[in-house]
Amino acid sequence: MSNINELTLAKELIKFPSVTPQDAGAIGFLAKKLKKLGFDCKILEFKDKNKKSKPIKNIYARLGTKRPNLCYAGHTDVVPPGNMKDWTVSPFKPIIKNNHLIGRGANDMKSSIACFVSAVEKFLKKRKKFVGSISFLITGDEEGMAINGTKKVVDYLKKRNEKIDFCIVGEPTNPNKLGEMIKIGRRGSISGTIMIIGSQGHVAYPHLSNNPINTLVKICRKLKEKKLDKGNKNFQPSNLEFTSINVDNKAANVIPGSAKAQFNIRFNNLHTSGSLKKKINSIVKNLSKKNKCKFKIDFHVNGESFLTKPNKTIFMAKNIIKRITKITPVFSTTGGTSDARFIKKISPCLEFGLVNKTMHKIDECVSLKDLKNLTKIYLNILEDYFK
């Protein structure tokens, strides 16, 4: 068994320009690495028949057949680098500067994958025989539409009665220093578009038309004024934000026939997407009726809120992180959504990875010290889990 160095593997993975939905060879490369460690690798390619989405490659790899099955979940896809001229290095030609590895995906989240693979290799050298299984669930569709990635792999595993007993999601969770934060849940996310239909007319004769903008403004005000909740001990207050208001009208002397607004709600476990849809529908319907307008609402549910109750494995991970980093991590549900929202349907999970302050930014980077310490953390979790 050859030595797998986390820094070397992170560099190799970053070299693949796997901008969602392009795989660029990253999944196949990782599968070869895992096969050399003895993993049974299945490359799962999914395509949604009803939507304009490109096929996505994913891996489910497992070593062993017994339980418990400890799974590591992550993604090889990255966000676009943006203006290449703004980078001090070529984003897909990783370079070390000031004890930091720079490149797109260094932080989110190819380096975390490299750390776990390295930890597994070290674990297997120490423990050739252990009771249980280690698995990887790696997708190429986390940064994109998330239609043909982890969601479908989870469905695939459920159909085959494949059991995962605990999952570590390697997303970058720490705001400033490695060891600060473990994610044990996430807020839900629902997006929507409200269209109000009035009647077009001349601005000089407003009584002969019905301006939909007036009604839309009242709806927006009502939705923003009404606080959804005050939060609870595990979650911050839910929040609705309007992200755009559009009126397709270039003429200054014409009252438009329609107007629409786009919004997103990040919600805690005091709500479901269904209860929020009802609440919004009710407000829009009442104000539209009062102002004699028609309306149309389109919703898209990105994920429900969820919380993993801290258990023996989560507290074990917390103690290991504290021991290695000298920082006591807090349990948190902050931030955006992650693929944990799909995995929690089949397994309890925690999220722990690198420092996230450069993710999606120009010159995305990770400290070399953090790479070594994250590998140590993952190795210690493997050793304690299979004790």
**Cα distance between residue 308 and residue 184, in whole Å:** 5
> CA geometry: angle at 76 spanning 70 and 82, to 5°?
145
The whole-number pLDDT of residue 281 equals 97
pLDDT in tens, the chain (387 residues): 568 999 999 999 999 999 999 999 999 999 999 999 999 999 999 998 766 678 999 999 999 999 999 999 999 999 999 999 999 999 999 999 999 999 999 999 999 999 999 999 999 999 988 999 999 999 999 998 888 999 999 999 999 999 999 999 999 999 999 999 999 999 999 999 999 999 999 999 999 999 999 999 999 999 999 899 999 999 999 999 999 999 999 999 999 999 999 999 999 999 999 999 999 999 999 999 999 999 999 999 988 999 999 999 999 999 999 999 999 999 999 988 899 999 999 999 999 999 999 999 999 999 999 999 999 999 999 999 999
**Is-same-fold flag (6-186+305-385; 188-303)?**
no
pLDDT of residue 51: 66
pTM: 0.90
Question: What does the CA dihedral 311, 312, 317, 323 come to, rounded to 10 degrees?
Answer: 130
Distance CA 352, CA 115 (A): 12
Q: Which residue has the tokens 């902050």?
A: 334
Confidence (pLDDT) at 128: 83
Residue 333, by phi and psi: left (phi above 0), alpha (psi -120 to 50) or beta?
alpha
CATH topology of domain 188-303: Alpha-Beta Plaits (3.30.70)
Report residue 304 CA to chain centroid gap.
Answer: 13
Task: Give the whole-angstrom CA distance, residue 201 versus residue 9.
Answer: 64
Tell me if 105 sits within 8 A of 119, measured CB to CB: no
Q: How far is Cα 108 from Cα 356, in angstroms, rounded to an integer?
A: 8
Separation between Cα atoms, residue 351 and residue 338, nearest integer Å: 9
Pull the structure tokens for residue 224: 């923003």
Q: Where are the beta strands (DSSP E) in the chain?
A: 40-46, 56-63, 69-75, 95-97, 100-102, 133-139, 166-169, 181-183, 185-186, 188-197, 201-202, 239-246, 254-255, 258-267, 294-303, 306-307, 330-332, 349-351, 365-367
Q: How far apart are the first and last CA of the chain?
A: 22
For 247-278, letters b (16+ CB in 10 Å) and e give: eeeeeeeebbbbbbbebebbbbbebebeebee
Instruction: Return the domain boundaries, the chain.
Output: 6-186+305-385, 188-303
The answer to whether residues 186 and 305 touch, using CB atoms and an 8 Å cutoff, is yes
Helices then strands, counting H and E runs in the chain, come out as: 9, 19
Q: What is the 3-state secondary structure (H, E, C) of 252-300?
A: CCEECCEEEEEEEEEECCCCCHHHHHHHHHHHHHHHHHHCCCEEEEEEE
Q: What is the pLDDT of residue 49?
A: 76
The whole-angstrom separation of Cα 366 and Cα 226 is 41
Q: Which residues are catalytic?
A: 77, 142
Superfamily of domain 6-186+305-385: Zn peptidases (3.40.630.10)
What is the model's pLDDT at position 144? 87
